[in-house]
Chain A
Amino acid sequence: MESTELLRRTPLYAAHLECGAKMVPFGGWEMPVQYSGILEEHAAVRERVGLFDISHMGELLVAGPNAERALNELFTNDVSKLAVGQAQYTLMCNQQGGIVDDLIFYRLEPSVYLVIVNAANIETDFVWMNTNATVSAVIENLSDRYAGLALQGPAASQLFEFSASLPHFHIQRQDVFGTECWVARTGYTGEDGFELFCEAVDSPRLWKMLLDRGRRLGIKPCGLGARDTLRLEMCYPLHGNDITDETTPLEAGLGRFVSFEKKLFVGQDVLVNQKEHGVDRKLVAFRMTKKSPPPRPHYPILADGRKIGEITSGTQSPTLGVGIGMGYIESAEVAVGKAIEIEVRQRRYPAVLEKKPILKRGQ
């Protein structure tokens, strides 16, 4: 149990209370888990638009003539493929190939990068990057100075005139209703949407403005509860649950974010070896096939009556109305469509291995 006295608050703390949020500890922060209810907020994002506070996430600025080289040593994906204004999803690994963090970063200028890291890993990542790059770059932790808001959902683009000129996975400097922001067309929900980074002091005004302008579209403030169900339907991994410093990108099915062609990066030896010889366990997605209690982390996964793995994330899917989840199982057991069982309180419930993402779009 985290002590509430030690928890940090985002600049939107008062705004959350005003919106009727239920606050919970998350990654060292006191964050809204929900406002009107997880199911309602989840539906708002899938059908209309929702607004999230993501100010707990860290913003690191990496700059200098060696910035690209430094990041290419630290990250698994190929940084040199990124044009100015583009975003890339990548992983940062340790020498054993374990995932220190997963992150999205943006090339703001030819030698300036904005790196967005997980809330619980800000200090770890900052120290890791400073100690493990062999060339020097300026790495600045701007996490206290910047706030982050995520506007997600099919109607999100209707709020901004600049939507048409900001393609998916790109970032631009924009004036958003009077607030200067870095606006990225990225997110963690599987829907179209934007992530806005602005000076912390400006964020309460931007929050109110977005809720106000979004009212005609049916906007809802959304908490971490809906953020978790939305990302899990899309099988986006959560660091600390589905990926940790003891699991590798190849085990997690994230090999497409590892560049095996580029020069040396931390963890490369292990990952190359895993690519050649395979891995013993893999992160799979599953869906319950009958009514069952919601699957939860650490519940056993069985096949033919034998334990083959354990759940890392699970929930009741608000969109599908059944239990869904992810977990690591023995590689030999991996096959889409395979019947498995999930054990909940000594009882077994049928499930099936699904192709990722669990929520198939355009259906």
Chain B
Amino acid sequence: MNIPKNLKYTKSHEWVRVEGNTAVVGITDHAQNELTDVVYVEVPTVGARIEAGKECAVVESVKAASDIYAPVSGDVAAVNEELSNTPELLNQDPYGKGWMFTITMSDPGELGELLSPDDYAHHIGA
């Protein structure tokens, strides 16, 4: 299972890449593998205020709909429009072209609550 060293993780299988005051968010390789073929992605609205730990997006496979939780609090700065027509990017490139949205963080201190790559690997039993 691919768990890049430069990212932070949640127990609910989101990843975060920190770029200054912005958090880029997606789902992990493990998550996309468990979800299987993604056929629909619902991202939050740009400008929406989201709260750490609360559901803010939905990823749907043929079999099931899964909630995505905000890793940190803040305002949604950008969303990946590509996912509307090519939701399979979440399967093909979960850490790259399959990014979901970015958050302008209101409390970067929340990053300290996230899992390190090693902790996440332990969490999924990898």
A293 contact from B37, B63, B65, Cβ within 8 A: B65
- Tell whether, in the assembled complex, residue B37 and residue A38 are in contact, meaning their CB atoms are under 8 Å apart: yes
Question: How far does the alpha carbon of A38 sit from the alpha carbon of B38 in the complex, in Å?
Answer: 10
Write out the residue numbers on chain B whose beta carbons fall within 8 Å of the beta carbon of A229: 62
- Tell whether, in the assembled complex, residue B62 and residue A315 are in contact, meaning their CB atoms are under 8 Å apart: yes
B37 contact from A39, A291, A296, A345, Cβ within 8 A: A39
Write out the residue numbers on chain A whose beta carbons fall within 8 Å of the beta carbon of B58: 293, 345
Write out the residue numbers on chain B whose beta carbons fall within 8 Å of the beta carbon of A315: 62
Write out the residue numbers on chain A whose beta carbons fall within 8 Å of the beta carbon of B36: 22, 34, 37-38, 225
* Total number of B residues with any Cβ neighbor in A under 8 Å: 12
Q: A27 on the interface (CB 8 Å rule)?
A: no
B43 to chain A, nearest CB (A): 12
- Tell whether, in the assembled complex, residue B84 and residue A294 are in contact, meaning their CB atoms are under 8 Å apart: no
B56 to chain A, nearest CB (A): 12
Within 8 A of A (CB), among B42-88: 42, 58, 60-63, 65, 84
Q: A33 on the interface (CB 8 Å rule)?
A: yes
- Tell whether, in the assembled complex, residue B84 and residue A316 are in contact, meaning their CB atoms are under 8 Å apart: no
- Tell whether, in the assembled complex, residue B65 and residue A316 are in contact, meaning their CB atoms are under 8 Å apart: no
Q: A318 on the interface (CB 8 Å rule)?
A: yes
- Tell whether, in the assembled complex, residue B39 and residue A294 are in contact, meaning their CB atoms are under 8 Å apart: yes
The chain B residue with its CB closest to the CB of A229 is B62
Write out the residue numbers on chain A whose beta carbons fall within 8 Å of the beta carbon of B39: 294, 316
Most chain A CB within 10 A, of B39, B58, B61, B62, is at B62
A221 to chain B, nearest CB (A): 15
On whether A225 and B65 interact (CB within 8 A), knowing A34-B36, A38-B36, A316-B40, the answer reads no
Write out the residue numbers on chain B whose beta carbons fall within 8 Å of the beta carbon of A38: 36-37, 61-63
Question: How far does the alpha carbon of A145 sit from the alpha carbon of B58 in the complex, in Å?
Answer: 44
Write out the residue numbers on chain B whose beta carbons fall within 8 Å of the beta carbon of A294: 39-40, 60, 62, 65
Write out the residue numbers on chain B whose beta carbons fall within 8 Å of the beta carbon of A33: 63
B114 to chain A, nearest CB (A): 27
- Tell whether, in the assembled complex, residue B62 and residue A225 are in contact, meaning their CB atoms are under 8 Å apart: yes
- Tell whether, in the assembled complex, residue B62 and residue A293 are in contact, meaning their CB atoms are under 8 Å apart: no
- Tell whether, in the assembled complex, residue A316 and residue B42 are in contact, meaning their CB atoms are under 8 Å apart: no
A294 to chain B, nearest CB (A): 5
Write out the residue numbers on chain B whose beta carbons fall within 8 Å of the beta carbon of A37: 36-37
The chain B residue with its CB closest to the CB of A38 is B62
- Tell whether, in the assembled complex, residue A293 and residue B84 are in contact, meaning their CB atoms are under 8 Å apart: no
B85 to chain A, nearest CB (A): 8
The chain A residue with its CB closest to the CB of B85 is A291
Question: How far does the alpha carbon of A225 sit from the alpha carbon of B39 in the complex, in Å?
Answer: 14
Write out the residue numbers on chain B whose beta carbons fall within 8 Å of the beta carbon of A34: 36
Question: How far does the alpha carbon of A229 sit from the alpha carbon of B62 in the complex, in Å?
Answer: 8
A267 to chain B, nearest CB (A): 33
A48 to chain B, nearest CB (A): 19
B2 to chain A, nearest CB (A): 18
Question: How far does the alpha carbon of A316 sit from the alpha carbon of B62 in the complex, in Å?
Answer: 6
Question: How far does the alpha carbon of A319 sit from the alpha carbon of B38 in the complex, in Å?
Answer: 15
The chain A residue with its CB closest to the CB of B88 is A39
A13 to chain B, nearest CB (A): 20
Within 8 A of B (CB), among A262-314: 291-294, 296
Question: How far does the alpha carbon of A22 sit from the alpha carbon of B35 in the complex, in Å?
Answer: 11
Write out the residue numbers on chain A whose beta carbons fall within 8 Å of the beta carbon of B60: 293-294, 316
Within 8 A of B (CB), among A186-239: 225, 229
Write out the residue numbers on chain A whose beta carbons fall within 8 Å of the beta carbon of B42: 293, 345
Question: How far does the alpha carbon of A292 sit from the alpha carbon of B36 in the complex, in Å?
Answer: 19
In the complex, per-residue mask of A45-87: 1 if CB is within 8 Å of any chain B CB, else 0: 0000000000000000000000000000000000000000000
Query: Lowest 4 A-B CB distances belong to which pairs?
Result: A316-B39, A38-B62, A39-B37, A293-B40
**6 pairs from A and B in contact (CB 8 Å cutoff):** A37-B37, A38-B36, A38-B37, A293-B40, A293-B58, A316-B60
With A34-B36, A345-B42 known, 4 other A-B pairs at CB within 8 A are A37-B36, A293-B65, A294-B65, A318-B62
